[in-house]
Every structure is written in C-alpha cells, then in structure tokens.
Amino acid sequence: MTLSCRNISFPFNADRWLTRLTRLSACVSAAIVLLVITFLLLESWPAFRTIGVSRFITDESWHPLSDRFCLVPMITATALTSGGAVIFAAPLGVCSAVFSQFYAPPRIAAWHRRLVELLAGIPSVVFGLWGLVILVPLLAHLGGSGQSLLAATLVLALMIMPTVALTSSSALSSVPAELIRGGAALGMKRWSIVWQIAIPAARSGINTGVMLATARAVGETMAVLMLAGNVPEMPSAIVSPVRTLTANIALEMGYATAEHRSLLFVSGLMLMGVVSAGVLIAELVRGRRHV
Amino acid sequence: MRQLVYVVFTAMLLSVAAGCGTDRSTPDKVNAVNAAGLSGKLTVTGSSTIAPLAMELAKRFEQLHPGVRIDVQSGGSGKGISDARSGIADIGMASRALKDGESDLTAHQIAADGVCLIVHKSNPVIQLSDKQVIAIYTDQLNNWIDAGGTDLPIAVVHKAEGRATLEVFLSYLELENPAVKADVIVGDNQHGVKTVAGAEGAIGYVSIGTAEADALAGEPIKLLPVGGVAATTANVASGEFPMSRPLNFVTGRSPGALATAFIDFCQSEEVHDLIVSQYFVPVQR
Amino acid sequence: MFDSVNASAIKERVACFVVWLGAAAILCVLMWIVFDILMKGASQLSINFLLNAPEDAGRSGGIGTIIVSTLMILAVTITAAVPLALASAIALSEDAKSGPGLSGFVRRSLDVLAAVPSIVFGLFGNAFFCITLGMGYSILSGGLTLACMALPILIRTTEQAIRAVPSEYRHAAAALGLSRSTALFRVILPSAMPGIGAGLVLGIGRALAETAALIFTAGYVTRMPESLSDSGRSLSVHIYDMAMNVPGGNSRAYATATVLVGLLLFINAAALATTRYAGNRGSSHVMSGAIR
C-alpha cells in the first residue's frame, strides 16, 4: 500500500498543505528582517555616500553638526552595557528558574513566577523613571551625577532578567521526569541533580533565553537614554557617563535635519552589523561544540 | 541557495503588495468652508514640546467647529519641518526659528519660551555671571566653592545636539558645542529637571515654563537669573529676559483653508489662557 | 568517604542558600519598584481616572480612552503575531538542521530581528506601515509594528516548547497512523502549551511595554478611537509623555503605571488560563512531584 502511494512522505493531503503554510510563514518572518535592514540601508545611504565608512571610526569625536562622526565610543558603550547586563542577568534568571522549579514549595513558586511575569511587562519608561528618581541619586554618592555606565547596566540587567527566568523555567519544566527520577534513584541530592542533570538537559532552552535577553539589552532605548548619561565619550570608569548607539538615535533623531538623520541611521546599521556578527559567532561556537 | 531565493522572493512580494496598496496618505484637503462652519481633518506633527499645547488648542477648536478633526502627533521639530515640507502633515510644529535652508516654509509663531539655568535647591549660589557659566560649561570651573557655593564638584548637565534650547543657550554665551564638556547630556526638559533634582552639585538649563511648573510641583530645583534678569515667564513676556525661543507652527507652500483658520485661531487672544496654562508665554500681535 | 559526604552536604546547603537569596533579591527589587509606583500614583486613582478622557494635556481627567486604545493595539498585535509565530515555529521545529538552509537562515534572522532597537522599529513602522502602506498614524500600524517586535520572542519560545515534547509522543502518533497535522494539533501542541504560554506572556509583556515604537506609529492622540484606522496613544506612551514631556505630570505618570501593572496582571492570568485550557492539565506538575 505504501509503495502505491503518490508520495511516501506525505500520505495525507493535509500534511502537504501544512508544510507549505508553515514554510510560507517562516519565510514571511524572515522577510520582515530583510525589510528592516533594507529600510536602514536606504536611510543611511546618503551618509555613506557623502562621508564614507572610515570616518565613522577615525574621527576624533561625535559632533555631527561640527562635522565629526566617530561612533567608536558608542559601540563600546553598547557592548559594555549589554555585556554587563547579561553577565548580571543570566545567572540571576537561571537562579530564579531553578528556585521556582526545584526549591520552592508549589504556592511560593507560583507567586514567584507571577511576579517575574509582571516584571517582564513593566515598560522601559517606568524602569527608566525608577532608575532616574531612585537609583541615580543613590549612585551620585559614588561621584558624578549618578547617570553612568553602572546605572544603565544595573537597570538593564533588571529588565532582561525575566526573559532568561521565564524561558529557563519552561525549559527546566520540560526536562523529562525520568532523568530527574533516575538521579534521585542514584542517591543524588537536589543541587547535584539540578546542576548535573536538569540544567544540561535544558541547555538549549536556557541558551534561547539568554540570546533573547541579550538582544533585548542591545536594542533597549528608553531606559538607557534616561540613565546612562549620554556623553559620547569613552568611559574611563564604571561611573562615567556613556552613550549607546540606540540612545544616540533616540536623542538626536527628533531634531535632526535630513543629513543628520541619515547619520543616525548609520548608527542603527552599525548596531545591526555588530549583532549579526555576534549571532554568526554564536552559531559557529555552537556548531563546533556539537561536532 | 534555493531557500534564500524563496525568502527574498517573499520579501519582494510583500513590498509589491505594499506598493499596490492604498496611495501615499495625503492629508484630507476636503476642507469645505460652508455657511455652517469648517469641516475636515488636519494632521499636525512635530515638536514634543509644543505637542501638549497643540493638543489643547486642537481640542478647543474642535469644540467650536464640530465637523473638524485635528490629530496631533509627536516626533520632534525636525520631523515636523520635513513633514510640512513633504505634505504628510498640514502643519508642522517647531520649537525653534526656521533656519536658512528652510526658506520655502512659513513660520507662524504662536508662543515663546524662555531658557534658564537651574541648580539644586540646596545650592547656596543665587546668581552666576555669564563668564562663570562659560567657565563651568567648558570645564574650567569644577567646584562650587569657586563660584560662591559649598565644596561640591559641579555636575554639568547639557542638552543633545540639534535641540533648540541648546542652540539658544550656546548662541547667548557665544560658545561652540565641541568646546562644552558635560557630565550628563539629556534629551527632554523634564529629563534635565529630574537630573538636577537628583544631584546636589548639578547645574543645567531648561525651558523656563517647565522649570517653574516643576518647582511649583515640589521638585527641589531653583531657577537662576540670567544676565541679572530673574527667570520668570513674566520677564519673557515683557522681553527683558535674554534667552528665549519661538514656538512655531510651520506650513508649506499652500496651506488649506482649514489649516489657515486653525493657525489664526491659535494666534488669537482667545487662546492666551491655554498657552499660559501650559507654562508658555503668549506673544502679542 | 566521610569527607566527601560532608563536602556534598555543605555544597547542598550553600546552593540552597544562594538560590533562596537570589530569589529573595529579585523579589525585593520588584517589590521596591511596584511600591514606588503605587505610593506615588495611588493618590490619583479613582473610578473617574479609569473612565474619563484626559484633560489639560493629561494633568487632569482620566485615562479611559487610553486604556481602550491600548487594548485595541494589543488585540491587533496578538491577532497578527500569534498565528504567524505558531506556524513559523512549527516549520522551524520540523526541520532540525541549524546550519545552512531555510530554517538556519530564519533562525539567524529572528535573532537579529530581536535586537533591532525599538526606535528603529518605530521609524521603520512609520515608513512602511504609515506611509508606504498608507495606514497613517493608526492603531493598526502600531499593532502590526508591535507584532513584528514580538515575533522573535514568540517564535523562538514556541519552537523550544514544541521541541521539548518527547519524541515518544510523535512515534506513538505515527504508529497509530495519525497524519502529521492531526498529531500536531491533537498531541504535540497541547503538550507544548505551558511553554507556549510562557512565550505568549513574554511577547505580550514586550508589546505592552513598548514606547518608542508606538509614538511613531499609533501616535499621540488621546481621543477615543472609533476604528482601527484612528490614531490612539497607549498607556506606555502616556506614561512617557506625563513623566518626561508635560511639566507637572509626575503623579499622573505613576498612576498610569499602576493601572498598567494591574492590566498586566489581568492579561497574564488570562493568557495562562487560555493556554492551560488548550493544553494538557497537570503535565508540568510531574517535574516538581519527582523530587519531593
């Protein structure tokens, strides 16, 4: 019967339609990213044409209305704030997931999850406001005005932690029960089971969470704008003010002339370039480890 | 390779679908001025400083002319000017005077706004000379003790490039932007106020209206006089205050009848109370 | 042997302490933020605040029209994003290769899409939905832009959830002669529902929390929207305007934030209830039961 079937892999018509439909949706999703990148390229093309690429790295400072266009301090700031935020948020998020899945009594676990979900939906403006009004004056005691790399990194970590926590939590809950029971049967204690069985089994889900959190941190605009100080210079200390690429766009876009606008889109494009490089590197690292 | 072709094809398909869609949105120029009153739709975009005022003006205008709908959008003075030029908006809002390259547009001033210096309320300094301000902003004066205050390092709050407040401030002090060494750069006026309110050694400059309103609401800031003139909206109205900027409605080549009627309304005496309630200064015509 | 038992016992205690400490720290900071919002905004809350339209640039009146606009934008986002995300996730999870090929390309593009700054999305949404597609400043443009932003989160988490379903389910379904689509909709998706629910909550959270993207697409207007093509500001845009633009709007900003937090609690509960109804009840309790 199977040999007389038209197509062995699609013995049912519904399956063929399902595959077509789902593949089309995936194409549409990928097409959106192409549209966004095309948009960025179109908008930043005038700047590339008049100024060229190297000046964005070699100029002495960022003063676009005085003909200076160095983006290096801002790239550094983006890397430092996002990197710092992920370093704080990832362990904290996984810790929260482990807590709600393995250590907490069921009712406390449910409430903890609900509160983390709440944290996930608080607008970046509110985080920025809280940071500006409460955290920054506290940090001002350390020097400067308080608006600094440290303030931005801390609040950013707080903002992305729920992403890691929630995805890790569902990844940990999908670990097959037999693995856990097997560990318990071998006499392993709770932490050993978590560290040596559950987390490695949930690794792909946790990685997804960290990836999404990093992406969110890199793209965050509002909160960093309110907290980082926005001075386009290389930071000399953790309490120095910095300006990220996203804050650069948001800060100057509203009042920019056409040429200035084009320059700002170059920062956006540079951000996309950095992110794409990061994604490709992560892919290579993951590929090498599996092979 | 084939998969990449599929994705690019889908992207092209989406773009074609987009192009075949409805025409570029042009503002509804069906502004029928009939005996019963005005009707139609206006789109006003631009400066976020003017947007709350424009919204209130629009609301009052809509109450007087029930057939009219005015949508006010934010996005910045730059966007307001480019939208007015390209026709996407009927009226653009700009919180600055028009520049040389913008002579194809017409500016209709509806209000004025002063720019003043603010410091933390606990700061004992009550006045700074222009020379001292220049020294503070170019990093030559670093501690309040050298300006008559307590031993506290000065945290300089500056505005982002392109902002009208910055341009008014720098042109008054005759400074170039690269010469300014700031500790914090802020975007909106409120951001500046909150920054100064949060650090005792901070100094910044913001719109007078914003500073007055926030000081009244309890923020720990203090307005400093500029050039000997006290920083109040009354002084801006009388013209004594040296640093001020115009708030303009900008139109392109041929504004419709409705847009002209609305602008006339906004420049009339009837709306002075609204302008004052938003902490700006009405201009005498 | 005595030493190794002691060492592992100490490790257990330390781990337990650290985990509880971490969770408590998170809880404390969250409570700090929520209490701060409540304390500063509670004075402005009232039934009128929830029902009336804003007046005096938002400094008096209420936020009734804004709540309606927000819910409409959210509805558009969910309607546009969830089916697309589900379908794409199904496609990605069927194709296991993560290297060259369609699914690898789609995954990489989604990772890049997730990192696009919200202001770039706002400007893109303005250029594409408002101008090119002719929708103008409208709730529809805002909802679709947010759908683009939420897509990476929804797709990646749904894909993970589908992958995590044990392969025995798929084998059993095939052995019973079910078609792939029946197996998918009757067996695999219901088992993956808790994970999908978590992704939905994250996606909704991201959508409600967005400000910069909506200023340029759904707009700034406070009027009650009469259709999807009307402009209407969302709660987060209103919070931004009150806190950072309008002088003297501070307490209103906090009050609006309080309402947003309340709305969020309600929507999250609704989303989770929906996914629990659509999925198998009790499959996630197996985990915690195993260790006790």
Count of helices and strands (H, E) across chain A = 14, 2
Do residue B127 and residue B49 come from a single domain?
A: no
pLDDT per residue over B189-220, tens digit each? 889 999 998 888 899 999 888 888 888 888 89
Enter the tokens of residue C112. Answer: 């890049």
Q: Are residues B125 and B158 in the same domain?
A: yes
Tokens of C264: 């969020």
- Say how many CB pairs under 8 Å bridge A and B: 119
Would an 8 Å CB–CB cutoff place B51 in contact with chain C?
A: yes
Residue B19 — pLDDT band, cuts 50, 70, 90? Answer: very low
Residue A49 lies in a domain: no
Instruction: Indicate if B173 and B63 belong to the same structural domain.
Output: no
Q: Assess if residue A208 is contained within a domain.
A: yes
Question: Is residue A202 situated within a structural domain?
Answer: yes
Which of C136, C231, C245 comes nearest B52 by C-beta?
C245
Q: Which residue has the tokens 């720098």?
A: B170
Contacts of B204 (CB under 8 A, 6+ apart): B117, B118, B156, B157, B158, B186, B192, B193, B195, B196
Name the nearest CA neighbour of C236 among A128, A22, B112: A128
Structure confidence at residue B8 (pLDDT): 66
- The span from the CA of C121 to the CA of C241, in Å, is 19
The CATH number for A226's domain is 1.10.3720.10
Is the residue at C6 inside a domain? Answer: no
- B131 and B215 in one domain? yes
- One domain for residues B104 and B126: no
> Collapsing DSSP states into helix, strand and coil, what is residue B107?
strand
CB of B25 within 8 Å of a chain C CB? The answer is yes
**Residue that wins the pLDDT comparison between B76 and A84:** A84
Buried b (16+ CB within 10 A) or exposed e, A112-147: bbbbbbbbbbbbbbbbbbbbbbebbbebbeeebbbb
Asked if the model's pLDDT at residue B231 lies above 70, the reply is yes
For residue A22, the chain C residues in CB contact (below 8 A) are 87-88, 90-91, 94
How far off is chain A from C290, nearest CA to CA, in Å?
Answer: 6
Residue in A25, A32, A130 closest to C148 by CB: A32
Q: What is the mean pLDDT of chain C?
A: 85
List the single range of A180-184, B148-152, C63-67, C68-72 with lowest mean pLDDT.
B148-152
Tell me the three state secondary structure of residue A194: helix
> Which pLDDT band, with edges at 50, 70 and 90, does B48 fall under?
confident
Residue C206, domain extent: 45-291
Residues of chain B positioned with their CB less than 8 A from the CB of A243: 185
Residue C25: inside a domain = no
Which residues does chain C have within 8 Å of residue A14's beta carbon, measured at their own beta carbons? 179-182
pLDDT at B22: 40
How large is the average pLDDT for residues C103-117? 86
pLDDT tens digit sequence for A111-154: 898 889 888 888 888 999 999 888 988 888 887 778 889 999 99
List the single residue in B with minimal CA-CA distance to A61: B178
Concatenated DSSP letters for C97-163? --SSSHHHHHHHHHHHHHTS-HHHHHHHHIIIIIIIS---S-HHHHHHHHHHHHHHHHHHHHHHHHH
Q: What is the pLDDT of residue C24?
A: 92
In a domain, B284, yes or no: no
Whole-angstrom distance, CA of residue B251 vs CA of residue B46: 12
C95: how many CB neighbours lie within 10 A of its CB? 17
Question: Could you report the predicted ipTM of this complex, rounded to two decimals?
Answer: 0.83
Domain-embedded: residue C121: yes
Same domain (yes/no): B182, B216: yes
The answer to whether B183 contacts A24, with C-beta atoms less than 8 Å apart, is no
B interface test, pick of A27, A35, A69, A145 with most B CB neighbours within 10 Å: A145
Evaluate whether residue C158 is within a structural domain.
Answer: yes
* Range(s) of the domain holding residue B152: 114-238
Domain count, chain B: 2
| Whether residues B120 and B84 fall in one domain | no
Give the pLDDT score at B23.
38
Residue C284: pLDDT above 80?
no
Contact B43, B35 (CB under 8 A): no
Q: Is residue C17 part of a domain?
A: no
Contact C217, C73 (CB under 8 A): no
The answer to whether residue C39 sits within a structural domain is no
- pLDDT given at position C86: 92
Q: What is the pLDDT of residue C292?
A: 37
pLDDT in tens, A157-198: 999 999 999 999 989 988 988 999 999 999 988 888 999 999
Which residues make Cβ contacts (< 8 Å) with residue A111, sequence separation at least 6?
A: none
* C-alpha dihedral, C63 to C67 to C72 to C78, nearest 10°: 150
Q: Which of A76-80, B25-29, C198-202 tops mean pLDDT?
A: A76-80
Residue A74 lies in a domain: yes
Residue A256 is part of which domain span?
Answer: 57-290
Band (A244; pLDDT cuts 50, 70, 90): very high
Residues B181 and B254 in one domain: no
Q: Which H or E element spans position B184?
A: strand B184-186
Chain centroid to CA B177? 19
Residue B93 has pLDDT above 90, yes or no: yes
pLDDT score for A7:
54
Q: What are the distances in angstroms from CA B77 to CA A61, A226, B192, C177?
A: 25, 20, 19, 65
- Give the pLDDT band of residue A255 (cuts 50, 70, 90): confident
Q: Strand B106-120 and strand B202-207: pairing?
A: antiparallel
pLDDT category, C20, cuts 50, 70, 90? very high
Residue C80: which CATH number?
Answer: 1.10.3720.10
Count of domains forming chain C: 1
CB burial readout B42-56, b (16+ within 10 A) else e: bbbbbbbbbbbbbbb
Distance CA C216, CA C5 (A): 62
CATH number of the domain enclosing B230: 3.40.190.10
> How far apart, in whole angstroms, are the C-alpha atoms of residue C48 and residue C62?
6
Given a cut of 50, whether residue B256 has pLDDT beyond it is: yes
Q: Is residue A191 part of a domain?
A: yes
Residue A203 contacts residue A195 (beta carbons within 8 Å): no
d(CA A80, CA A100): 30
User: What is the pLDDT, as a whole number, of residue B58?
Assistant: 92
Q: What is the mean pLDDT of residues C44-72?
A: 86
Residue C59's pLDDT band, with cuts at 50, 70 and 90, is: confident
What pLDDT is attached to residue A100? 92
Q: Is B134 exposed, middle or buried (0-12, 13-18, 19+ CB in 10 A)?
A: middle
**Mean of all residue pLDDT scores within chain A:** 86
Residue A253 corresponds to which tokens in the numbers above? 């876009």
Same domain for B160 and B76: no
Least-confidence region, from A146-160, B133-147, C1-15, C44-58: C1-15
Decide if B15 and A35 are in contact by the 8 Å CB cutoff: yes
- Kindly tell me if the per-residue pLDDT of B29 is higher than 80: no
Answer yes or no: is B194 within a domain. yes
The answer on pLDDT for B168 being more than 90 is no
Inside any domain, residue A276 = yes
- Tell me, yes or no, whether C272 lies in a domain: yes
Among the listed residues A26, A78, A205, the one whose alpha carbon sits nearest the alpha carbon of residue C202:
A205
Tell me: the pLDDT tens digits for C141-180? 999 999 999 999 899 899 988 988 888 888 998 899 888 8
Residues C80-95, mean pLDDT to the nearest whole number: 89
Are residues B225 and B141 part of one domain? yes
Structure tokens at C37: 């919002």
Q: What is the pLDDT of residues A50-81, one digit of tens each?
A: 887 777 878 888 887 777 888 888 888 999 99
Number of domains chain A contains = 1
Environment class of C204 (CB within 10 Å of its CB; exposed 0-12, middle 13-18, buried 19+): buried
Nearest by CB: B160 against A133, A140, A251: A251
Average pLDDT score, chain B: 83
Same domain, B8 and B106: yes
Mean pLDDT for the stretch of residues A225-245: 89
Least confident of A130-134, A267-271, B36-40, B77-81: B36-40
Q: Is the pLDDT reported for residue B86 higher than 80? A: yes
